[in-house]
Amino acid sequence: MGEENEAGDVASSADAAVTITGVTKRFGDVVAVDNVNLEIADGEFFAMLGPSGCGKTTTLRMIAGLEFPTEGSLKIFGDEVGTLPPNKRPVNTVFQNYALFPHMNVLDNVAFGLKMQGASKSEAASAASEMISLVQLGGMEKRKPSQLSGGQQQRVALARALVNKPKVLLLDEPLGALDLKLRQEMQTELKSLQRELGVSFVFVTHDQEEALTMSDRIAVMHEGKLLQVGSAEELYDRPVNRFVADFIGQTNLIDATVADADMIVLANGTKIMAPNPHLAGTKVAMSLRPESISIGASDDIPEEFQATSLQGEVSNVVYLGHSHVYTVEVDWMPLEVRTNATPTSQVYKPGSQVAIWWDRRSDWVVPDEGFSS
C-alpha cells in the first residue's frame, strides 16, 4: 500500500461524485493542501478527518468553490469545476456554525437557494416548507434563526442546503457546536437522511469517533497531505503509518527494527514475531491496540503466543466497569492494556510482575516515518 497517492491508484470512473486529481492549494508560502488525489463515489458518506490545520476544510472549500486549487483538477460528476464560482456548482454546503441569514426567517432562509435559481416565490416557499417538515421543524417557518436552539439551527442549515437537491452535500464540522447528546442524535439522523436521499455527503471533522460512526469511507489528512483512505476497519486495523495508527483510536506504538520478513527487534533486544514487508534494518513502529493484548502471570503465557509476548510490571490499573485498563511497564516504555472485566477475571495490582501477549495477527508494523501527535 503506497502512502499519500494511494487513492490516486484507484481507476478514475466517470460516475464518481467528486474526483480530485493532483490538487494543491497554496496560501502564499503555506501549502494548505499538498498534491491530493481522491475519489468520492456517488451516494457515499465520506469523511475527511484530521487535526485542525490539516487541509481538510480547505479541500472541502475547494469542492464548494469557495477556494480555487493552485494546481490540479477537480471534477464533479465528470465536469471540471476547478475555477467555477460556488453559485455555478451543483453542490451545497452546511457551514460550520451554520451561517444562517440572521435577517431572514426560517422559511426565507430555506427558500433562498431556490429563489436565486429563479424559482417563483410560491414554488420556492412550498418546496422550502416541505423540506422544513422533513427536518422536523414544521411550524417554525416564521421564526428567526436567533430564536432557535443550536440543534434546530443545524436542521435549518441542512434544509437550506438539501432543498436545492445538490448532487453532493458538503458539511463542515456540522456537529461541532452541539453538545454530546444532541451530537449523537444528529449523527444517527444525518446517516439515515443520507441513506434516504442517496446523495453523497462529504463531511469534515476532527472527531475520529464521529468519522468512524457515520462514514462509509474516511480520508485521513495531516499537514496538507492525504495519508490514507479507507473504511473505518481498514484505518483501524491496517493504518499506513505512525500518524494514522496514533490518530485513529488508541494504540501502543512500539519502536522496533526489522530483522527479517517475520521478525522485528524491540528496543531491549526482544525478538517479536511480526510479519512485515520491510527490508531488514528498517526502523519501524509496531502498533498494538490495548484491547488486543492479554495479561497474565509471568509463567502463564500460552505456547502459541510465546513469540508475541513481553514481561513487565503493572504500574497502574483503572477500573472502568466493563474493563480494566492497565499500564504495564516493560523494560523501556509503558504499554496500555485493556481487558474485559468480569466478576471472575483476575485483577493484577500495581507492582505485580506480569506477562502480556497477543495474537500475531493483531500487531501491525508501520514505517517509522510520519508523525506522532
Angle at 202 between CA 372 and CA 289, to 5 degrees: 35
Quote the least distance from Cβ 131 to other proteins, whole Å: 13
Task: Specify the stretch interacting with other proteins by CB under 8 A; choose among 15-23, 94-102, 217-225, 255-263.
Answer: 94-102
- By the rule CB under 8 A, 140 interacts with other proteins: no
Given 13, 73, 117, 231, the residue binding other proteins (CB under 8 A): 117
Structure-block grid coordinates of residue 210: 464521529
- Should residue 224 be labelled a site residue for other proteins when binding is judged by CB under 8 A? no
Q: Taking CB under 8 A as the rule, does residue 85 contact other proteins?
A: yes
Nearer to other proteins among residue 93 and residue 187 (C-beta): 93
Work out whether 93 is an interface residue with other proteins (CB under 8 A). Answer: yes
Least distance from other proteins to the Cβ atom of residue 226, Å: 24
Residue 194 near residue 45, CB atoms below 8 Å: yes
Question: Under the criterion CB under 8 A, does residue 13 sit at the interface with other proteins?
Answer: no
Dist CA 281 CA 21 (whole Å)? 35
Residues in contact with 253: Cβ distance below 8 Å, sequence separation at least 6, in sequence order: 242, 245, 246, 285, 286, 287, 372
**Which range, of 62-70, 125-133, 189-197, 201-209, touches other proteins by CB under 8 A?**
62-70
Q: Check residue 52 for interaction with other proteins (CB under 8 A).
A: no
Contact letters for other proteins, residues 167-206 (x by CB under 8 A): ----------------------------------------
Q: Is 103 in the site for other proteins (CB under 8 A)?
A: yes
Our finding on whether 102 is near other proteins (CB under 8 A) is yes
Does 257 bind other proteins (CB under 8 A)? Our answer is no
Of 328, 331, 330, 329, nearest to 339 by C-alpha is 328
Using CB under 8 A as the binding rule, whether residue 53 contacts other proteins is answered as no
Q: Which stretch binds other proteins (CB under 8 A): 10-18, 86-94, 133-141, 308-316?
A: 86-94
Q: Which is nearer to other proteins, 99 or 134 (CB)?
A: 99
Nearer to other proteins, 95 or 371 (CB): 95
Query: Measuring CA to CA, how many Å separate 65 from each of 12, 165, 334?
Result: 21, 17, 47
Taking the least distance from each CB to other proteins, the nearer of 66 and 325 is: 66
User: Which member of 21, 24, 70, 97 binds other proteins (CB under 8 A)?
Assistant: 97
**Shortest distance (Å) from residue 103 CB to other proteins:** 5
Among 15, 29, 52, 87, binds other proteins (CB under 8 A): 87
160 binds other proteins (CB under 8 A): yes
Interface with other proteins (CB under 8 A): 64-66, 85-87, 91-93, 95-97, 99-103, 112-113, 116-117, 144, 146, 160-161, 164
